[in-house]
Amino acid sequence: MNKHFVSLAVAGAFMALGSQAAIAAPDWAKVGKSTIHVFHPGAAPLEWLQGKGEHSGASGLKKGESCAGCHVEDGKLSLDLKRLASKEMEPKGAPKTMTYPVTVQAAFDASNLYVRLTFKAPTGGFDHSDKENEVKATIMFPNDKVPLADQAGCWSACHEDAKGMPKGKDKTKHVNAGVMDLMQWKSSGKSVDGFVADKRNMEGGKAGATAEGAKAGDTYTVTFTRKLAGNAVLAPGKAVPFGIAIHADNAAGRFHHVSFGHTIGLGADGDVKAAKQ
């Protein structure tokens, strides 16, 4: 075979690989949509959730009930937003918009999970200290060793001794056992593949996470890709817990809007059903 035909064969192989990669990318127009509402949680740490005198749902957590099970009704939040915005719960200053919807889509193939978030990020927040990023969108996946992760979601990593909390010191978000995969998109164009263990690590994750996003008008669309393998191992036929956090209006630290703990079903029932590619 002469060199000309070898070159054509190699080029054809690369074209085929490129075609396969294109086919592997989700066709989002054919993927179902779910709505998850995020809200500003104030300065309420995990310890507050577990305190009987402060949180009436503490006994339910001990019985194995989930936060979403009590506070999400027919897809909508059932919360005392006035209390969350009060000085008791938010001593610094509550945002003008306490809650808003996020459209969530998911798909998976033999190697990866793809998650797409679409939302309108509100203004009117208290904190504007992240000058580089108007918006940050984060998704966290706990493994099965994180206490209360299937009940409280990302709240399992939010403790009263964390920096920025009223009783906080110099700690970051952390979990008492296990690990959470953390993937984040920043509107400055950066993406994070990190994890949360005894501290939050914004690099060194095992999920190979990448993210890209764009803003059209007043709407953000952020697409995450991660391996099924990671600290939290995802598998077809199972529902995996996850949580969402969005920092809007140049917010940093705890001045975000978060979801309760929800599930993505990979070919299984879940709050979000991932389509098989």
Share of the chain above pLDDT 90, in %: 82
Over residues 106-117, the pLDDT tens digits come to 999 999 999 999
Longest dimension (CA), the chain: 82
Over residues 134-178, the pLDDT tens digits come to 999 999 999 999 999 899 989 999 999 999 999 898 999 999 999
At a CB cut-off of 8 Å and minimum separation 6, what does 170 contact?
163
Scored b (16 or more CB within 10 A) or e, 199-237 reads: ebbeeebbbebebebeeeeeebbbbbbbbbebbbbbeee
Q: What is the pLDDT of residue 75?
A: 86
Does 114 reside within a domain?
Answer: yes
The single-letter DSSP state of residue 254 is T
Q: Give me the CATH number covering residue 65.
A: 2.60.40.1190
Range of the domain at 90: 30-276
Q: How large is the C-alpha radius of gyration of the chain?
A: 20
**pTM for the full model?**
0.90
Number of domains in the chain: 1
Does 19 reside within a domain?
Answer: no
Does 3 reside within a domain?
Answer: no
Does 10 reside within a domain?
Answer: no
Does 50 reside within a domain?
Answer: yes
Does 1 reside within a domain?
Answer: no
Distance CA 54, CA 248 (A): 28
Does 58 reside within a domain?
Answer: yes
Does 175 reside within a domain?
Answer: yes
Helices of type H across 149-206: 149-152
